[in-house]
A and B are shown apart, each in its own frame.
Chain A
Amino acid sequence: MTLEELVDTFRFFDDWEDKYRFIIDLGKGLAGIPDSDKIETNLIRGCQSQVWLTHKTQDEQLTFALDSDAHIVRGLSAVVLIAIQQRQAEEIAALDIEAIFAELDLLAHLSVTRGNGLRAMVARIKAVANSQTH
C-alpha cells in the first residue's frame, strides 16, 4: 500500500471503529521482527507499550522493520513504515511524519502525552536516516 492509498482509505472512514479495525489489521499484516532480534539495543521503551526497531541497507536502500507488543501501536508502526517506504535516507530524515499523522487524524498518538514509544520510534528512525546521509 502506498501512502496515497492509505490517505484515501482513511478518508472513507466515518467512525472510529472502522479506522481502528483497519489500523489493527495493518499491524496484524506487518512482518514484524523475529524474537531473536527483540533485544535491548533494538528496544524503544514507551511508558506503557514497547516498540522494537531494526534497519538494514541493501543495494543502497535503507529499510526498517518495526514491531510492538500492542496491536494498535503495531498498526501505527505499519503506518510509519508505509510513510517512509521506498524513500532515500535524506528524504526520511527530512520527512514530516507529524504532518502525515495529522492528515490521518492520528496525531494524538504521536503526542508527548502518550507513553507508547511511537514518538521515540520516529525520532530513532530519523536519527538512523540522518546517520546514513552524506
Chain B
Amino acid sequence: MTIRDDFPILQRSSRGKPLVYLDNGATTQKPRSVIGAVENYYRNHNANVHRAAHELAEEATALLEACRSKAKTFVNAAQREEIIFTRGTTEGINLIAQVISSRIKPGQDIVISQLEHHSNIVPWQLLAQRTGANIKAIDITETGDLDLNDAASVITDNTAVLAISHISNGLGSVNPVANLIAQAKQVGALTLVDGAQAVLHADIDVQALDCDFYVFSAHKMFAPTGIGILYGRLELLNALPPWQGGGEMIDQVSIDTSTYQQAPCRFEAGTPNIAGCVGLGAAFDYIDNLPMQALIEQEEKLVAKALCGLRQIPGLQIIGEPENRASVISFLLEGSHPNDVGTLLDQQGIAVRAGHHCNMPLMKRLGIAGTVRASFSLYNNEDDVTALLNGVEKAATFL
C-alpha cells in the first residue's frame, strides 16, 4: 500500500497507456478522502454558513471554520482571524494589491522578481497604474537563483511593497524569502509571499518568515480548485479597507453607508466556497496523517534521479540549475519547441506542461520561448521517472 492508492485517478490510463502524471506544479490530484469529504458535505450537511438558525447551517459553519483553524496551524499563523478564504493564489494577490492602494504614493517602488508568475506581476502593474508607482524586478543569476546583490540594490527606502514567490513555478528555485522580507521590513515595505508552489514542497511558517501576507491555492495541495488561503497580519488586515462589498462582510448597513466586520469576514463578501473549504479541510487532515518527512525525501530522490537521467540524453538542456531546487525540472530538447516535446510525451500517456508557464518575463530574460516542465508530487514513483526518461528519449528521435 502506497499513497498512490489513495488517488483514484492515478489508476486510469491516458492515450491508452498508464497515466504518468508529472504536472503537479499546475495542479495535484485528489485523494479519496478529499473527494469523499466534498460528496459527504453535499449529501449530508449542505447549507449556507454563518446564519445558524438550523442544524444544517450550524454543521456547515462548523466545517468551514474548522478548515480555517487547520489553515492557521498549517501556516503557523498567530490567530485564526488571520486566515481569509479566497478563490486561490491569484485572487489573494489581487485582493491585497487592491486594498493597499491608498498606502502607495506616486513614484514609490513595488518590488517583484524576474521569476514571478504572471499572477504576481499583473496585479502589481494594475496597482502601479492606479497609484503612479513603479515596478522593479530583482534579477536572477545564471543558475536561475535570485540575485541577492541585485536585491540589495533594488530594495530601497523607496520600496512600498515586496511581492515575491516562495518557489519559482518555472525553474523550481526555492527563494530566500526570509532574507528578502527582512530587507523589505527594514525599509518599511509591505511584504507578500506567493506560496502557490510552496505548499507540500517547503515549510510554511508565516511567523518565522515575518511576512505581512502569504497566499496559496488549495488545489496544489490535494484539495479542490476554486479555494485558497490568504494569510494576513491581523492588525494590518483590520486597518485595510474592504475589497468586495456584500453580505457577510458588513457590520451595520443603511441606505447611505455601512460599517464593516473585522477580518476575516471583512474580506469574505458573499457565500464562500463552502464545499471547497470542506475539501481543503480534508486535505489538511490527509497531509497531517502522512509520513511527510519520508515522502519528501523520496520525492527529492526521484527528482535527483530524473535530473541525472535527463542530463544523459543528448541534446537535452536543463533550464535553471538553482542552488536549492524544489520538485520542478524545466528542460529543452535541442532544435525543438517545448510544445513538440509536450505533445510527444502526451501521446505516451505522460502529462507534463510545455510552454512559458505564465512566466513570460522569465522566458524572455532566459532568451527562450518556453520549456518542458516535469513537476513531481508525493505520489510519484520510480516508474514515473523511468517513463519520463524513456518518453523524452523517444520524443528526441522524432525531432
Interface residues, chain A, CB within 8 Å of chain B? 16-17, 20-21, 24, 47-50, 68-73, 115-116
16 A-B residue pairings within 8 Å (CB atoms): A16-B347, A20-B343, A20-B344, A20-B398, A24-B340, A24-B398, A48-B338, A48-B339, A48-B354, A48-B370, A49-B337, A49-B339, A70-B337, A71-B340, A71-B399, A72-B339
A24 and B355 contact, CB distance less than 8 A = no
Q: CA–CA, A68 to B339, complex, Å? A: 11
Q: Which residue of A lies closest to B353 (CB)?
A: A48
With A20-B398, A21-B398, A24-B398 already in contact, the answer to whether A71 and B347 are too (CB < 8 A) is no
B126 close to A (CB within 8 Å)? no
Interface residues, chain B, CB within 8 Å of chain A? 15, 336-340, 342-344, 347, 354-356, 369-370, 398-399
- 9 new A-B contacts, CB < 8 A, other than A68-B337, A116-B339, are A47-B355, A48-B356, A49-B339, A69-B369, A70-B337, A71-B340, A72-B344, A73-B339, A115-B355
The smallest C-beta distance from B362 to any residue of chain A, in angstroms, reads 15
Q: Which residue of B lies closest to A19 (CB)?
A: B347
A72 and B340 contact, CB distance less than 8 A = yes
Q: Which residue of B lies closest to A68 (CB)?
A: B337
Find the residue from B336, B343, B354, B356 having the highest chain A CB count within 10 A. Answer: B343
The smallest C-beta distance from A18 to any residue of chain B, in angstroms, reads 11
Task: Return chain A residues, CB-CB under 8 Å to B399.
Answer: 24, 71
Find the residue from A21, A24, A48 having the highest chain B CB count within 10 A. Answer: A48
The smallest C-beta distance from B354 to any residue of chain A, in angstroms, reads 6
A72 and B343 contact, CB distance less than 8 A = yes
The smallest C-beta distance from A68 to any residue of chain B, in angstroms, reads 8
The smallest C-beta distance from B213 to any residue of chain A, in angstroms, reads 29
Q: CA–CA, A16 to B398, complex, Å? A: 12
With A16-B15, A69-B369, A71-B399 already in contact, the answer to whether A48 and B355 are too (CB < 8 A) is yes
Q: CA–CA, A80 to B399, complex, Å? A: 21
Q: Which residue of B lies closest to A71 (CB)?
A: B340
B344 and A69 contact, CB distance less than 8 A = no
Task: Return chain B residues, CB-CB under 8 Å to A17.
Answer: 347, 398
The smallest C-beta distance from A119 to any residue of chain B, in angstroms, reads 14
Task: Return chain A residues, CB-CB under 8 Å to B338.
Answer: 48
Task: Return chain B residues, CB-CB under 8 Å to A50.
Answer: 369
The smallest C-beta distance from B207 to any residue of chain A, in angstroms, reads 39
Q: Which residue of B lies closest to A50 (CB)?
A: B369
Q: CA–CA, A71 to B354, complex, Å? A: 14
Task: Return chain B residues, CB-CB under 8 Å to A70.
Answer: 336-337, 339-340
Task: Return chain A residues, CB-CB under 8 Å to B339.
Answer: 48-49, 70, 72-73, 116
Q: Ordered nearest first, which 4 A-B pairs have the shortest CB separation?
A: A70-B337, A48-B355, A70-B339, A16-B347
Q: CA–CA, A47 to B359, complex, Å? A: 12
Q: CA–CA, A65 to B338, complex, Å? A: 23
Q: CA–CA, A20 to B356, complex, Å? A: 23
The smallest C-beta distance from B285 to any residue of chain A, in angstroms, reads 33
B347 and A20 contact, CB distance less than 8 A = yes
Q: Which residue of B lies closest to A115 (CB)?
A: B355
The smallest C-beta distance from A69 to any residue of chain B, in angstroms, reads 5
A71 partner, pick from B15, B337, B356, beta carbons under 8 A: B337
Q: CA–CA, A116 to B340, complex, Å? A: 10
Q: CA–CA, A68 to B369, complex, Å? A: 12
Task: Return chain B residues, CB-CB under 8 Å to A116.
Answer: 339
The smallest C-beta distance from B397 to any residue of chain A, in angstroms, reads 9
B336 and A71 contact, CB distance less than 8 A = yes
Q: CA–CA, A72 to B398, complex, Å? A: 10
Task: Return chain B residues, CB-CB under 8 Å to A72.
Answer: 339-340, 343-344
Q: Which residue of B lies closest to A117 (CB)?
A: B339
The smallest C-beta distance from B391 to any residue of chain A, in angstroms, reads 12
Q: Which residue of A lies closest to B344 (CB)?
A: A20
The smallest C-beta distance from B244 to any residue of chain A, in angstroms, reads 29
Task: Return chain B residues, CB-CB under 8 Å to A47.
Answer: 355
Task: Return chain B residues, CB-CB under 8 Å to A73.
Answer: 337, 339
The smallest C-beta distance from B343 to any residue of chain A, in angstroms, reads 5
Task: Return chain A residues, CB-CB under 8 Å to B340.
Answer: 24, 70-72
The smallest C-beta distance from B360 to any residue of chain A, in angstroms, reads 11
Q: CA–CA, A48 to B338, complex, Å? A: 8
Q: Which residue of A lies closest to B354 (CB)?
A: A48
Q: CA–CA, A47 to B354, complex, Å? A: 10
